[in-house]
Amino acid sequence: MLQRRHLSLTFLDLAPAAPENAPLMMLLHGYGSNEKDLIQLAPMLHRGLRYISVRAPHTLDLGMFGWFPLSFTPTGITVDYNAADEARLQFISFVKDIIAEYKPAGNRVFLMGFSQGAVMSYMTAFSEPELLHGVIACSGQLPDMRPKDDNSIKELPFLVLHGIYDDILPIAKGRAAKEWLEQRVNDLTYREYPIAHQIADSGIELIHSWLEKRVPESLE
């Protein structure tokens, strides 16, 4: 596993044994975490993918990063929307450059985000759905920015996981995402688990089986 810096973003690159042009799974960590977090799940997800675990651009503290600034107030979390849009544009540019460099088979790119990383995954999917072949959103929420054309995401698969006892982004956030997506996409899988703000072991198993159905054997 190599650590690299590409343009303005640092990332970990975990390549499969073969092939060189393996489909990509881009991992987006949550607020206050780093690129070493979700990459630990890679061995349990799918052996035929190349994993690109990206460090968010804003430094919060030693080893702690965020995609865009948040404020935690008595009435809830507030977002710097201008900074969020800048993060979206920066990440989309990064995805395009990574595709050009690694040339994944069939240009297949999957996003898997946790918490704020899930929000980033949604924002990327809603603005540039043609770049992606699937989105896994764990313990996140829909962004205020939605696609102008609902048909643009119709064929993009989504897997949404959420903890019933999530005290950071309550389960209502996951259920709202389910309700909104099921009206607009053909391929939605949604699961709730009796956990807090985390990913359940059974959720990891579901991600594995979900990917097995969507990464053709011919591309492994």
For 100, residues 6+ apart whose C-beta sits below 8 A from its C-beta are: none
CATH superfamily of 2-219: Alpha/Beta hydrolase fold, catalytic domain (3.40.50.1820)
What is the spatial distance between Cα 171 and Cα 94, in angstroms, rounded to a whole number? 31
**Residue 219 in this model has a pLDDT that exceeds 50:** no
CA distance linking residue 65 with residue 62, whole number of Å:
8
Q: Where are the alpha helices (DSSP H) in the chain?
A: 42-45, 81-102, 116-127, 171-181, 201-214
- pLDDT tens for residues 31-47? 999 999 999 999 999 99
152: CB partners within 8 A, 6+ apart: 126, 129
Tokens (6 digits) for 157: 């698969």
**From 15-19, 63-67, 206-210, the region with the lowest mean pLDDT:** 15-19
Q: Which two tokens stand for residue 193?
A: 């688990």
How do the domains of the chain map onto residue ranges?
Answer: 2-219
DSSP 93: H
Q: How confident is the model at residue 145 (pLDDT cuts 50, 70, 90)?
A: confident
pTM for the full predicted model: 0.93
